[in-house]
Amino acid sequence: MVVAAAGVVTLGGAVAAWLKRSRASRPVAPSAQASRTPVAQKPPEAGSTGPGTATVAVDVPEDLDSRFSARRGRLGGALGERLAGFFGRRELGQDAWDELEEALLLADVGAAVTEQIIAEVRARVQGGDESPKEAVRAAILAAIDPDADRSLHVGAPGAGDLAPVLVVGVNGVGKTTTVGKLSRVLVAQGYSVVLGAADTFRAAAADQLETWGAHVGVTTVRSDVEGADPASVAFDATRTAQREGVDVVLIDTAGRLQNKAGLMDQLGKIARVVTKVAPISEALLVLDATTGQNGLAQARVFAEAVPLTGIVLTKMDGTAKGGIVLAVQRVLGVPVKFVGLGEGADDLAPFDAEGFVDGLLGD
């Protein structure tokens, strides 16, 4: 966790007292069940020091631009290692193409995209002067679609329109962690954020989220009742965010898959109540990259429940199945927007197609 010196900011005593009063007097989500942690909405401006100051420790999240490249090595380069033989070949006979196919399938690229990549590599090595490695790199990049819009559609900071972001996925994939990390991403970009702890089935989830939020000065709306109605918490969080003029409300949801109909009902209800307050800006599916092709079956269920706008692939650090990025984009028709590259607070990075291919190939 980064607690830079500049991150320990101080508020003038009078300002701190005013903030406390003004927050206390705001009309906040009058729900029988929901409560919220009253923490500062935005990290206060640095430099507002003065005599008689109160200290508020707020993390300064790591800048986004360098996050992916700084962690690219964590992708492991397994595909590149498997393809070392292929890259070194002078003649590309059938055994070479089989080798390429096997390596792509083992990386969980999926059958359809593997076929597409092989066809592209064949065309490139036959038609030009590209080496097998250059051809593979270009073919994978083309299959990833480097021009896809991977931005998070949440408007501009301070623009005045609330952007609700639903985060869905199976338990254990890293959903709550991702919501926490995303709050840091948004805070780093100057957005004000409220968190909604609508995973009410797992007692620790709300506490976990609250801790993430507190580190970057973000409010968490939660229920004190275990098993409370997730839609009610989602609604309260969205309404609170709107009343407070916040830019983004990030809503963590429960992801039990035992009963598909129940899950779909619940997510559908959450989406409906949130939409009553503001149209949903993003519905992000969190998938665990280590589950490979199995994750795709889950993905389909969630895609039926809510119209997805993007994918977050977690646990990409140390998996040899990074090719799942290509497969899941193909299956769902929506782009991977972020990847989880570790358990650290800032180990969530915007997806960078070129950097990703370099990481897969170990370059």
Spatial contact of 329 and 363, defined as CB atoms under 8 Å apart: no
Quick one: which of 100, 117, 173, 305 contacts ligand GDP (CB under 6 A)? 173
355 makes contact with ligand GDP (CB under 6 A) = no
192 makes contact with ligand GDP (CB under 6 A) = no
User: Pattern 284-323, binding to ligand GDP, x per CB under 6 A?
Assistant: ------------------------------xx-x------
| Comparison of 174 and 322: residue with beta carbon closer to ligand GDP | 174
Min dist. Cβ of residue 135 to ligand GDP (A): 31
Quick one: which of 35, 41, 53, 171 contacts ligand GDP (CB under 6 A)? 171
| Comparison of 76 and 174: residue with beta carbon closer to ligand GDP | 174
| Comparison of 291 and 309: residue with beta carbon closer to ligand GDP | 291
Quick one: which of 175, 184, 215, 337 contacts ligand GDP (CB under 6 A)? 175
Q: How far apart are CA 209 and CA 99, in angstroms?
A: 45
176 makes contact with ligand GDP (CB under 6 A) = yes
12 makes contact with ligand GDP (CB under 6 A) = no
251 makes contact with ligand GDP (CB under 6 A) = no
Q: How far apart are CA 241 and CA 282, in angstroms?
A: 16
> Contact region for ligand GDP (CB under 6 A) — 152-160, 167-175, 220-228, 353-361?
167-175
> Contact region for ligand GDP (CB under 6 A) — 13-21, 121-129, 174-182, 303-311?
174-182
Q: How many residues bind ligand GDP (CB under 6 A)?
A: 16
Quick one: which of 157, 268, 342, 350 contacts ligand GDP (CB under 6 A)? 342
| Comparison of 74 and 122: residue with beta carbon closer to ligand GDP | 74
The total number of residues shown for the chain amounts to: 363
| Comparison of 16 and 249: residue with beta carbon closer to ligand GDP | 249
> Contact region for ligand GDP (CB under 6 A) — 11-19, 133-141, 235-243, 342-350?
342-350
Q: How far apart are CA 22 and CA 213, in angstroms?
A: 20
344 makes contact with ligand GDP (CB under 6 A) = no
Min dist. Cβ of residue 172 to ligand GDP (A): 5
**Secondary structure in 3-state letters for the chain:** CCCCHHHEEEEEHHHHHHHHHHHHHCCCCCCCCEEECCCCCCCCCCCCCCCCEEEEECCCCCCCCCHHHHHHHHHCCHHHHHCHHHHHCCCCCHHHHHHHHHHHHHCCCCHHHHHHHHHHHHHHHHHCCCCHHHHHHHHHHHHHCCCCCCCCCCCCCCCCCCEEEEEECCCCCCHHHHHHHHHHHHHHCCCCEEEEEECCCCHHHHHHHHHHHHHCCCEEEEECCCCCCHHHHHHHHHHHHHHCCCCEEEEEECCCCCCHHHHHHHHHHHHHHHHHHCCCCEEEEEEEHHHCHHHHHHHHHHHHHCCCCEEEEECCCCCCCCCHHHHHHHHHCCCEEEEECCCCCCCEEECCHHHHHHHHHCC
Q: How far apart are CA 47 and CA 11, in angstroms?
A: 9
| Comparison of 143 and 197: residue with beta carbon closer to ligand GDP | 197
Q: Which residue is nearest to ligand GDP (CB)?
A: 340
| Comparison of 265 and 343: residue with beta carbon closer to ligand GDP | 343
| Comparison of 86 and 351: residue with beta carbon closer to ligand GDP | 351
172 makes contact with ligand GDP (CB under 6 A) = yes
User: Which of 255, 163, 140, 261 has its CA nearest to residue 200?
Assistant: 255
| Comparison of 274 and 341: residue with beta carbon closer to ligand GDP | 341
Task: Tell me the backbone φ, ψ of residue 226, rounded to 5 degrees.
Answer: -65, 135
Residue ranges binding ligand GDP (CB under 6 A): 169, 171-177, 314-315, 317, 340-343, 347
